Amino acid sequence: MQQAATHNLVDNVLVRLQALLPATRPIPLHEPDLQPDAWEMVKDCLDSGWVSSVGAYVDRFEQGLAEHTDIGHAVATVNGTAALHTCLLLAGVQPGDEVLLPALTFVGTANPVAAMGAIPHFVDSEAATLGVDPVALDAHLDRVAEQRGGVCINRQTGRPIRALVVVHVLGHVADMPALRALADRHRLKLIEDAAEALGSLRDGRHAGHWGDLTALSFNGNKVITTGGGGAVLTGDPDLARRARHLTTTAKLPHAWAFEHDEVAFNYRLPNLNAALGVAQLERLARLLAAKRRLAGAYAQAFSGLDGARLFVEPPGCHSNHWLNLLLLPDRAQRDALLTETHADGLLLRPFWTPLHRLSMYADMPRAELPVAEDLFARGVCLPSSANLVPATQVTA
The CA distance from 382 to 308, in Å, is 13
Q: Domain boundaries in the chain?
A: 2-32+284-393, 36-282
Sheet of 317-318: strands edge to edge?
205-206, 201-202, 317-318
How much is the pLDDT for 35?
A: 87
Topology match between the domains 2-32+284-393 and 36-282: no
Q: Please, is 315 exposed, middle or buried when counting C-beta atoms within 10 Å of its C-beta (0-12, 13-18, 19+)?
A: exposed
Q: Is the pTM of this model over 0.85?
A: yes
Alpha-carbon Rg for the chain, nearest whole angstrom, is 22
Nearest to 133 by CA among 98, 104, 94: 104
Nearest to 338 by CA among 10, 9, 4: 10
Nearest to 196 by CA among 234, 170, 232: 170
CA 290 to chain centre: 19
Query: Domain 2-32+284-393, what architecture?
Result: Alpha-Beta Complex (3.90)
Select 36-282's CATH number: 3.40.640.10, 3.40.50.720, 3.40.50.300, 3.60.20.10.
3.40.640.10
Nearest to 172 by CA among 212, 131, 136: 131
Q: Which residues of the chain register pLDDT less than 70?
A: 1-6, 391-396
The CA distance from 181 to 200, in Å, is 21
Q: Please, is 97 exposed, middle or buried when counting C-beta atoms within 10 Å of its C-beta (0-12, 13-18, 19+)?
A: buried
Cis omega before residue 26 (within 30°)?
Answer: yes
The CA distance from 239 to 87, in Å, is 9
